[in-house]
Amino acid sequence: MTTLTVTRTTLLKDLRMEWRSKDAINSMLFFALLVVVIFSFAFNPTAEESRMIAGGLIWVAFLFAAVVALNQTWARELRNQVLDAYRVSPAPPNALFLAKAIGNFLFVVVLECLMTPLFVIFYELRSIGPVWQLIVVALLGTWALVVNGTFFAALSIRTRSREIMLPLILFPISIPALLGMVDATTSILTGEATPDFWIKLLAVYDIVFTAICLMLFETVLNAE
Amino acid sequence: MTTLTVTRTTLLKDLRMEWRSKDAINSMLFFALLVVVIFSFAFNPTAEESRMIAGGLIWVAFLFAAVVALNQTWARELRNQVLDAYRVSPAPPNALFLAKAIGNFLFVVVLECLMTPLFVIFYELRSIGPVWQLIVVALLGTWALVVNGTFFAALSIRTRSREIMLPLILFPISIPALLGMVDATTSILTGEATPDFWIKLLAVYDIVFTAICLMLFETVLNAE
Amino acid sequence: MAGTSEPHPPPVILLDNLVKFFGRFAALRGISASFAPGRLYVVLGDNGAGKSTLLRVVAGLMEPSQGSISLLGAKRIREVAPRIGYMGHAPLLYDELSGMENLRYFAGLYGIPDDEVSRNAMRMVGLDPDLPRRVGQYSQGMRQRLSLARAVLHDPELILLDEPFSNVDVHSARDMAAVLGRVRDQGKTIFVVTHQAALMEDVADEFVHMAAGQIVSRDEVVRKSVNVGSMR
Amino acid sequence: MAGTSEPHPPPVILLDNLVKFFGRFAALRGISASFAPGRLYVVLGDNGAGKSTLLRVVAGLMEPSQGSISLLGAKRIREVAPRIGYMGHAPLLYDELSGMENLRYFAGLYGIPDDEVSRNAMRMVGLDPDLPRRVGQYSQGMRQRLSLARAVLHDPELILLDEPFSNVDVHSARDMAAVLGRVRDQGKTIFVVTHQAALMEDVADEFVHMAAGQIVSRDEVVRKSVNVGSMR
Amino acid sequence: MKRLALITLPLTLVLLAVSSYLALVVAPTEATMGDVQRIFYYHVPSAWVGGFCFFINFVASIWYLWKRSPRSDALAAASAEVGVVFCAVLLIEGTLWARPVWGIWWTWDARLTTTLVLWLIYVSYLVLRRFSAGQTQVMAAALAVFAFADVPIVYMSIRWFRTQHPSPVMGGGENSGLAPAMLQVFLVNLALFTVLGILFIWLRYKLETAEQALESAHAQAALKGAA
Ligand code: HEM
Ligand SMILES: Nc1ncnc2c1ncn2[C@@H]1O[C@H](COP(=O)(O)OP(=O)(O)OP(=O)(O)O)[C@@H](O)[C@H]1O
Ligand SMILES: Nc1ncnc2c1ncn2[C@@H]1O[C@H](COP(=O)(O)OP(=O)(O)OP(=O)(O)O)[C@@H](O)[C@H]1O
Ligand SMILES: [Mg+2]
Ligand SMILES: [Mg+2]
């Protein structure tokens, strides 16, 4: 009954439920495709301009897709108030948080893996900088979004009009991370600057916010 | 007990509930603000480039904000299954549809009125074409989004994973309208082309889809 | 089976071989029955017997898969919608509005402009029409009362109630049962689905037992004929 | 008041001037009480009396605004969490998983790796552990039984049940009440909030009446002492 | 049904082989594009079959809304699925063709955009069919009406774009028309694809109605079992 065991069981349970319905996964994929298409419609990408804003476009698209996913995080736990069952049990609260955050992380990463090729095709992107740097940026950036998102989704489940609350608190807090992701991506794509500073920023951001989330989650979960 | 009377009572009831909680309005506004801010971070607007993509940016922002609002449309009616109370009553189904569509329209228009100045400030927009045309485009475009959105929200309440279904069916169908809005807006802002064709297109789109919605709503409402 | 001394009145509900499938599962398995007006029927049965489904089909909320219904003489339920009252498992009320605001809105749907009607409905179930509290802050018992008021607001001839006493405390439940008895005495036909038969013993005219999607038996309650006409 | 022949066992629950505010409204208004182990308490009271609030506070789901609780000898409820079972208004189950999958997960939360425990819990409430159906497709009665199995899975000493019989048919409710009686006979302390006191008459040890946020009276049930020890 | 499939499937396979032989070997090589142009013999028929399927879907859906006949719903489902497949094939062929000829995978011109939107719309239709809980048929039929109404609007709206995609080869202006040798091969392929499309719809339709029949047989059995 250590944190790790419970994290694992909870994660497996979530994955099983996800896998069983497959709804969420499938529909998210289609949603991601639509976001890419809508963006390309709206911005009518031509070779030169698009390279300049592609970093921003990609991350904004990921952000919207992720928010939709994050909003569903706790929905399942709230449906029959199953969260209460977790809360009365002796299982450590942080295990629940970690399981949810990791689940969301996997989910959003899958999403990104499928959206990126589409962006590449539609915007005819080619990276001038090294691709592995892009991957590092993507992983760090995704964790930044997801860890805060999971936490704030937990905060916002106690509020009325839940869906809307999440972006409201998530977006402002995430702005530094978003800035880091966008600028790092653009630097790598255009090869004009090194993304080192931004990568460091993202790493620090991840560490700080993961720590804060783990410290505060118990309080948030048990507030009633 | 004509359609109009019921439409009015239902609309007033919705407005009163909204006014009382102000949840949706307040949070939507803040959301809209955030979207604008996030966009300006992600796209780092500079005078020349921004003018080119501003039409797209504005409408994508409106679209996402609207989807959040539309998803809430039926939430209130579903909460205690109040919809059943409407369905057993002799009130005409289309009255409910019209009330919801008009309510959403008002809502999104208010939103747009508050977001537009922000865009103007952040992107230093100036319209070269006549401003009244922008207003016509906005009204027609908003109705196009809202009328279909209200209908599809009613469709998607019957599905599993509701929130995600709405954009999935709304976005593809709305692409012509979106295209019309974006291109008309860009033509007016840059003053490079006349938006007449797009305005006509939007008008046709509005008429066709409003008619279809009114024709099919009863069927969808009573399907069980 | 009815055995009344008067000539048979035309039935309020006539069910002919009613079947309702959910996918492969038959929730109603060929129900044929007829129900006379002015009586209070109590529908009993285990969980999943099909009680709610029957009520929803009769209320016109669901299409039957097979068979036909004739309601108050009409074949199309929509035609007689103004003459039917329905109360479901859920309260069918807006949490954000006060009791009167709720009733006023629903009265509007039935084309009743008069506020007094809503006020009377609230009084009938023992609620204060001037209570400003929102329904979200009502206790379960008050909510169920208000829900009953909503169902009978437009003075329907046929009233369908699905577990009106669930989670309601004993006092409130007794009060509500008494209200139902009075409404029946005004000549309305009432169907009450409940798991608490004891509550209805004093006022019921007939117990209808359902099991596995069928009506398995109907027991008429023989009462000293106090309430035939003297109580109006 | 207890008047037992044995020496007083230490109380399972000791409430000292418990107060719970929701905003300005006091849902619990200074409850002081002590409850002995191995007994089945039935908590009765009108809607809004504060029964659910009391149970949630005792289960550690809510902090009391004033006053203190001592549970199984501990001051901090989290320390004794493994020894408490709780069942709420809602089923506290995942609709998308089967009965066994649900129980297995919750067993995991209590550090019980053994599948047999979950299977036994299902059998105890009269469900088939091998039923592949998802809980979403269970009938209301089955769901409440499973919910009860979830609450008692880890063999807790103190069991808190909030309206376990709501919307459950008479047969299932009787079965569940009998299960509760057997669990009590194993020496557990049980609190049942319900509006159907009649169901519990045969197994209850004490009726606790609540009104307006207070315990107004406690009636001990005097029974021919069959179940003191012979039935273990 | 089984017999039909047994006869038609080998037959179509043979025909497919013949037509591929015609398209890939017999037809003359096009002057400017070279052998890549041979995709043409698959490209246009795929497009035509896709459009045809969506039309059937529309008619069947309207019919369903009117008569509530489960068979027309089965036809609607079948034709939408086949249509999405052919449309997807078309998109893939198109991108494969575009890469060597235009040097890019994709461009937002009228033809390509409308095709993509068409595909997206009908994928969303399938998604709805998949995820709706109860009353799938009515929901899907309603969406089908919206979808088909949208197609002409999409098509018109994007007319305005400068197109990179070839304009109609046949029945176009003066200089339009294919070389006779090409035309023959093209017509054979077109006919074959049409047959193939109809066959697929037919098989899917049979499967769907068989499923419906099974479902209702089960239901009736359940009904009898308890009575
Ligand atoms: C993804 C890319 C493409 C898509 C989605 C696409 C789609 C279509 C569609 C929908 C048609 C209409 C068929 C009809 O009118 O019945 C068509 C016809 C045609 N396409 Fe494409 N196409 C693509 C790429 C290409 C390329 C790269 C070429 C060659 C350069 C090409 C050449 C043609 C020709 C010659 C026709 C026949 C025109 C006619 O006779 O009407 N297409 N295509
Ligand atoms: N929408 C639905 N989809 C699938 N099955 C359903 C649906 N509604 C009801 N059922 C099934 O039909 C059967 C009858 O359900 P119904 O709700 O009518 O029972 P009930 O007699 O009202 O039971 P309860 O006392 O629990 O309310 C149950 O087995 C239930 O699982
Ligand atoms: N979260 C909350 N916020 C505000 N008020 C609340 C909240 N929960 C309960 N109340 C109020 O506290 C009072 C007691 O509620 P509680 O749910 O404990 O009653 P109960 O005895 O369980 O009633 P019931 O029999 O209806 O379940 C009620 O008046 C209720 O309106
Ligand atoms: Mg029921
Ligand atoms: Mg309670």
Q: By residue range, what is the domain housing residue E198?
A: 42-166+179-219
**H/E segment holding residue B7:** helix B3-21
pLDDT (average), residues D175-191: 91
pLDDT (average), residues B27-36: 72
Which are the contacts of E3, defined by CB distance < 8 A and separation ≥ 6? none
Share of chain B above pLDDT 90, in %: 33
> Which of B42, B168, B182 minimises the CB distance to A42?
B182
Residue E83 lies in a domain: yes
Residue of D nearest to C44 (CA): D169
Highest mean pLDDT among B40-54, B60-74, E44-58: E44-58
**H/E segment holding residue A136:** helix A131-156
Highest mean pLDDT among B149-153, D218-222, E172-176: B149-153
Ligand 2 atom nearest to C49, measured from its CA: 21
Tokens of E22: 């015609």
Number of domains in chain E: 1
pLDDT (average), residues D200-227: 84
pLDDT score for C6: 56
pLDDT score for B46: 63
Nearest chain C CA: its distance from E120 CA (Å): 29
- Distance of alpha carbon B60 from alpha carbon B89, whole angstroms: 39
pLDDT score for D3: 45
Give the mutation candidate from E109, E124, E129, E161 for the B interface (greatest B CB count, under 10 A). Answer: E124
Ligand 3 atom nearest to D46, measured from its CA: 25
- Distance of alpha carbon C127 from alpha carbon C121, whole angstroms: 9
Q: Is D22 in the pocket of ligand 3 (CB under 6 A)?
A: yes
- Distance of alpha carbon B139 from alpha carbon B133, whole angstroms: 10
**Mean pLDDT over each residue of chain C, to the nearest integer:** 87
Residue of D nearest to C142 (CA): D47
pLDDT score for E173: 45
**Mean pLDDT over each residue of chain A, to the nearest integer:** 82
Highest mean pLDDT among A160-164, B84-88, B107-111, C123-127: B84-88
- A195-199, B1-5, B134-138, D178-182: which has the minimum mean pLDDT? B1-5
Share of chain E above pLDDT 70, in %: 89
pLDDT score for D106: 94
Asked if residue C162 lies in contact with residue B88, where contact means CB atoms within 8 angstroms, the answer is no
Residue E227 lies in a domain: no
Residue E35 lies in a domain: no
Q: Is D153 in the pocket of ligand 3 (CB under 6 A)?
A: no
pLDDT score for A24: 66
B25 or A5, greater pLDDT: A5
Annotate C151-174 with b (16+ C-beta within 10 A) or e (fewer): bbbbbbbbbbbbbbbbbbbbebbe
Reply yes or no on whether the pLDDT at C5 is more than 60.
Answer: no
pLDDT bin (cut points 50, 70, 90) of residue A161 is low
Which are the contacts of A187, defined by CB distance < 8 A and separation ≥ 6? A129, A193, A194, A195, A198
Reply yes or no on whether the pLDDT at C4 is more than 80.
Answer: no
pLDDT bin (cut points 50, 70, 90) of residue C57 is very high
pLDDT bin (cut points 50, 70, 90) of residue A74 is confident
Which are the contacts of B22, defined by CB distance < 8 A and separation ≥ 6? none
Q: What is the pLDDT of residues B164-222, one digit of tens each?
A: 788 889 999 998 898 888 888 888 887 877 888 889 999 999 999 999 999 999 999 98
> Which of E134, E215, E219 minimises the CB distance to C26?
E219
Interface contact C24-E219, CB threshold 8 A: yes
pLDDT (average), residues A68-90: 82
Q: What SS3 class is residue D63?
A: coil
pLDDT bin (cut points 50, 70, 90) of residue B92 is very high
pLDDT (average), residues E20-24: 75
Ligand 2 atom nearest to B224, measured from its CA: 1
Reply yes or no on whether the pLDDT at D229 is more than 80.
Answer: no
DSSP string covering C92-151, please?
A: -S-TTSBHHHHHHHHHHHTT---HHHHHHHHHHTT--TT---BGGGS-HHHHHHHHHHHH
pLDDT (average), residues A102-131: 83
pLDDT bin (cut points 50, 70, 90) of residue C19 is very high
Asked if residue C184 lies in contact with residue C205, where contact means CB atoms within 8 angstroms, the answer is yes
- Distance of alpha carbon A36 from alpha carbon A34, whole angstroms: 5
Reply yes or no on whether the pLDDT at A48 is more than 70.
Answer: no
Give the mutation candidate from A28, A36, A44 for the B interface (greatest B CB count, under 10 A). Answer: A44
A88 or B158, greater pLDDT: A88
Share of chain A above pLDDT 90, in %: 21
Reply yes or no on whether the pLDDT at D224 is more than 90.
Answer: no
- Cβ atoms within 10 Å of E116's Cβ, excluding its own: 21
> Which of A23, A42, A57 minimises the CB distance to B59?
A42
Instruction: Give the ipTM.
Output: 0.82
pLDDT (average), residues E81-95: 93
Which residue's CA is minimally distant from atom 29 of ligand 3? D48
pLDDT bin (cut points 50, 70, 90) of residue C192 is very high
Asked if residue A85 lies in contact with residue D147, where contact means CB atoms within 8 angstroms, the answer is no
B43 or B93, greater pLDDT: B93
pLDDT score for D228: 44
**Mean pLDDT over each residue of chain D, to the nearest integer:** 86
β-pairing, C214-220 vs D84-87, is unpaired
Which residue's CA is minimally distant from atom 7 of ligand 3? D22
Q: Is E168 in the pocket of ligand 1 (CB under 6 A)?
A: yes
Q: What is the pLDDT of residues D66-79, one digit of tens each?
A: 999 999 888 888 88
Give A-chain residues touching D95 at CB under 8 angstroms: 79-80
Q: Determine contact: A57 vs chain B, CB below 8 A.
A: yes
Reply yes or no on whether the pLDDT at A115 is more than 70.
Answer: yes
Reply yes or no on whether the pLDDT at B78 is more than 50.
Answer: yes
Instruction: From E93, E104, E9, E3, select the one nearest E45 (Cα to Cα).
Output: E93
Interface contact E106-A27, CB threshold 8 A: no
Size of interface B-E (CB pairs under 8 A): 86
pLDDT (average), residues A188-203: 84
- Distance of alpha carbon D101 from alpha carbon D123, whole angstroms: 15
pLDDT score for B54: 75
**Mean pLDDT over each residue of chain E, to the nearest integer:** 83
pLDDT (average), residues C177-193: 92
The letter for the amino acid at A157 is: I
- Distance of alpha carbon E220 from alpha carbon E227, whole angstroms: 11
Shortest-distance ligand to the CA of residue D50: 3
pLDDT score for C90: 83
Q: Which of D19, D22, D214 has most ligand 3 atoms within 8 Å of its beta carbon, as the pocket-test mutant? A: D22
pLDDT score for A1: 54
pTM for this predicted structure: 0.85
Asked if residue E45 lies in contact with residue E190, where contact means CB atoms within 8 angstroms, the answer is yes
Q: What is the pLDDT of residues D5-43, one digit of tens each?
A: 556 778 889 999 999 998 888 889 999 999 999 999 999
pLDDT (average), residues D124-145: 85
- Distance of alpha carbon E194 from alpha carbon E200, whole angstroms: 10
Tokens of A215: 């410290």
Reply yes or no on whether the pLDDT at A144 is more than 50.
Answer: yes
The angle that helices A93-123 and A131-156 make with each other, rounded to 10 degrees, is: 130
Subunits next to D (3 or more Cβ pairs <8 Å) are A, C
Q: Determine contact: A160 vs chain B, CB below 8 A.
A: yes
Q: Can you give the length of chain D in residues?
A: 232
- Edge-to-edge strand ranges of the sheet holding C189-193: C84-87, C158-162, C189-193, C40-45, C206-211, C214-220
- Cβ atoms within 10 Å of A55's Cβ, excluding its own: 25
Alpha helices in D29-114 (DSSP H): 51-59, 99-109
The letter for the amino acid at A170 is: L
**H/E segment holding residue E122:** helix E110-131
Residue E37 lies in a domain: no
Q: Is E118 in the pocket of ligand 1 (CB under 6 A)?
A: no
pLDDT bin (cut points 50, 70, 90) of residue D230 is very low
- Distance of alpha carbon B108 from alpha carbon B28, whole angstroms: 9
Shortest-distance ligand to the CA of residue A121: 1
Reply yes or no on whether the pLDDT at B24 is more than 70.
Answer: no
pLDDT score for C2: 45
pLDDT (average), residues A11-23: 82
pLDDT score for A139: 92
Q: What is the pLDDT of residues E117-132, one digit of tens each?
A: 999 999 999 988 888 7
pLDDT score for E38: 80
Q: What is the pLDDT of residues D105-115, one digit of tens each?
A: 999 999 998 88
Interface contact D88-A17, CB threshold 8 A: no
Highest mean pLDDT among C19-28, D202-211, D218-227, E164-173: D202-211
Tell me if there are at least 3 CB pairs under 8 Å linking chains D and E. Answer: no
Residue E129 lies in a domain: yes
